[in-house]
Amino acid sequence: MQPNVSDKILLGGDRMIGNETLRAQLADEILGGTLSHAYLIEGGRGMGKHLLARQVCAALSCEHPHERMLPCGSCACCEKIFGNKSPDIRLIGKNGKASIGIDDVRFLRADVLVPPNDLAHKFYIIEDAQDLTVQAQNALLLTVEEPPPYVVFLLLCENSANILETIRSRAPILRLCPVAAAPMAQYLTTTQRAFAALSPEERDELVCMSAGSVGRALELLDGRARKPLIEKRRFAAQAVEVCLFAQRRDTARRMELLSAFGSVREEVATKLAMMQQALRDLILLKKYDDAPLIFYADRAEAQTISQRTPIASLNRLLSTTEYTRSRVLRNANIRLALSELLLCDDRTHV
């Protein structure tokens, strides 16, 4: 559980939600002049990595931060930064390529020697930093070790384990955690009319599907994006129940499910991953009634299924599902792999 940070200034103020402890830490470092010259900002897609980086840039440049608002968001510097108009913020990314190569880093190494134009600092936001080639990372290290005093590096990545240890040792890792369901729902209700217009059940499901990612939640407000995901989730829930409760002689139901999985490898793997999420929820509920759920929007439904099922059966099915998914991703015969999952005799008769 995060410590109480209600008496702290939070980076981003009410323009961000979640990760209060991290944002309080950054605000303290900025106001105290102890901010590092380089950070790795780690988090999944839509978790707010780029927004956090922009908030750091603005906070270091803000002309008049309010007492409880860092940065202020309204001064000339803040408006330039949030409007993507500052020449002192350099974005480096793949630009349609498979990776970020050494040529990109060579540009950066030459560019850092040019002082900032109108801000106190010059910022380099490196997107998809996990896709820097090893050669590029080694070249970047030479600059990250001893940059000019006005330079700040913000490396955004989904998994910092893919970054060389030599860089990680010089750039503290800022890990963004998923936003909890209650503040996510409150934020969407107060800022998004499309969310407020949904039924309570639809709102609960959208928040659950977002998995704590504000960016993902905003994408799912589009019904066209939400519908196929809902269909896959319904299918995964049905598949879990068939595997757990269908009688061995109910071959027709199992074969129908086998056919409904489809034959597109990526889609099959996605459905199996959702089954894994559902099973993890059910296992957690065996231990904690208030366990945070990542698949089931309806806690009562999940508790009913969990209570009906011995934990040994849940663990066995989770293990089998994980194994099946790994086989599918390794180009195994899809129908054969699924047959071994769906036609096995590991079920619950209650």
Q: Is the pLDDT of residue 64 over 60?
A: yes
18: alpha, beta or left? (left if phi > 0; alpha if psi -120 to 50): left
pTM of the model: 0.82
The reported pLDDT for the residue numbered 193 is 95
Q: Is the pLDDT of residue 350 over 60?
A: no
**Residues with Cβ < 8 Å from 43, sequence gap 6 or more?**
49, 158, 175, 176, 177
Contact 151, 88 (CB under 8 A): no
Q: What percent of the chain has pLDDT over 70?
A: 94
Tell me the pLDDT tens digit for each residue of 271-310: 999 999 999 999 999 999 888 888 999 999 999 999 999 9
Tell me the pLDDT tens digit for each residue of 83-118: 999 999 999 999 889 999 999 999 999 999 999 999
- Least confident range from 28-42, 53-67, 237-251, 295-309: namely 237-251
**3-class DSSP state of 100:** strand
Alpha-helical regions (H) of the chain: 20-32, 49-61, 76-82, 102-111, 134-145, 165-168, 181-191, 193-196, 200-210, 214-220, 223-245, 251-260, 265-287, 299-308, 311-329, 334-342
> Rounded to an integer, what distance in angstroms lies between the CA atom of residue 279 and that of residue 230?
17
> Rounded to an integer, what distance in angstroms lies between the CA atom of residue 147 and that of residue 63?
24
Contact 294, 281 (CB under 8 A): yes
Q: Residue 311 corresponds to which tokens in the numbers above?
A: 């934990």
> Rounded to an integer, what distance in angstroms lies between the CA atom of residue 329 and that of residue 59?
44
**Cα angle value 232/349/231 (rounded, 5°):** 10
Strands 173-175 and 122-126: unpaired
Over the range 271-280, which residues count as b (16 or more CB within 10 Å of their CB) and which as e?
Answer: bbbbbbbbbb
Q: Is the pLDDT of residue 349 over 90?
A: no
Q: Residue 304 corresponds to which tokens in the numbers above?
A: 């009913």
Position 253 confidence tier, pLDDT thresholds 50, 70, 90:
confident
> Rounded to an integer, what distance in angstroms lies between the CA atom of residue 157 and that of residue 161?
9
The reported pLDDT for the residue numbered 342 is 84
Nearest to 246, CA basis, from 128, 341, 326 = 341
Give me the phi and psi of 61, to 5 degrees please. -115, -10
Q: Class assignment of domain 13-175? A: alpha beta
Tell me the pLDDT tens digit for each residue of 2-31: 445 556 889 998 889 999 999 999 999 999
